[in-house]
Amino acid sequence: MILESEVPHLPNRNDFHQRLTDLIASCKSESLEPLVFDVGMRVLEDGAFPQEYLDAILSVLHDAAFLRLKDSWKLLRVFEYNWDNLTDSQRSILLPELEKAYGLFSDWMACFVISGILGEQYGDDRAFNALCRLKGASAEMQRSLVPHGFEHIVTGTSDAALANRALAELTAMQRDNSEAVRREVSESLSRLQKRKSGEKGDSLN
């Protein structure tokens, strides 16, 4: 039996936006993890991702202070953790906002997380088109994390045509003028080849 005193205290949902903006203003990135935990607890309690929480997060995606915040990517992970509780409408609203914010983060890990969400969580034509646009980013770091998203689409989608298109785009990035980008592409292609070889081996057993 769980005592009432043992149940985590969930802040008033109307306080979430204020807590988030106060955290950003304080530059205390270590406070992001407890905030993300609280979101997860609220989602668990409601059985849905509160729209006001999504609105609050979207409101800071273009905030210069948040974009400079160390470990800003931890807030983005809240979408991975609670993906099944986002409605189709919320996902449709979120995707273009993630794409627009992609090139604005100071922390490379934020780009990695966004690329992963596009490729793994979405893994559809909308995400594919977003990644195609993002691979044209002027900054080397941003382009170098796009292969991660294409790789997820290749391995995760049940749409063979989409998988082939993603593989073609990934392969085309071998011609990028950046060594760092080409290295990431090579690593993705190598993992895909190993996966393919493993699947062939399993089919023979």
Q: Do the beta carbons of residue 132 and residue 169 sit within 8 Å?
A: yes
Tokens of 114: 């966004």
Q: Do 63 and 19 belong to one domain? A: yes
The reply to whether the predicted model has a pTM over 0.75 is yes
Asked whether residue 16 is domain-assigned, the answer is yes
User: Residues 84-132: pLDDT tens digits?
Assistant: 999 999 999 999 999 999 999 989 999 999 999 999 999 999 999 999 9
Q: Do the beta carbons of residue 99 and residue 78 sit within 8 Å?
A: no
Q: Do 131 and 61 belong to one domain? A: no
Asked whether residue 4 is domain-assigned, the answer is no
Q: What is the domain extent for residue 46?
A: 11-86
User: Residues 141-157: pLDDT tens digits?
Assistant: 999 999 999 999 999 99
Asked whether residue 154 is domain-assigned, the answer is yes
Q: Do 190 and 113 belong to one domain? A: yes
Asked whether residue 61 is domain-assigned, the answer is yes
Q: Do 66 and 113 belong to one domain? A: no
Q: Do 54 and 23 belong to one domain? A: yes
Rounded to whole angstroms, how far apart are CA atoms 146 and 130? 10
How many domains does the chain fold into?
A: 2
Asked whether residue 64 is domain-assigned, the answer is yes
Asked whether residue 101 is domain-assigned, the answer is no
Q: Do 18 and 63 belong to one domain? A: yes
Whether the pLDDT of residue 18 is over 80: the answer is: yes
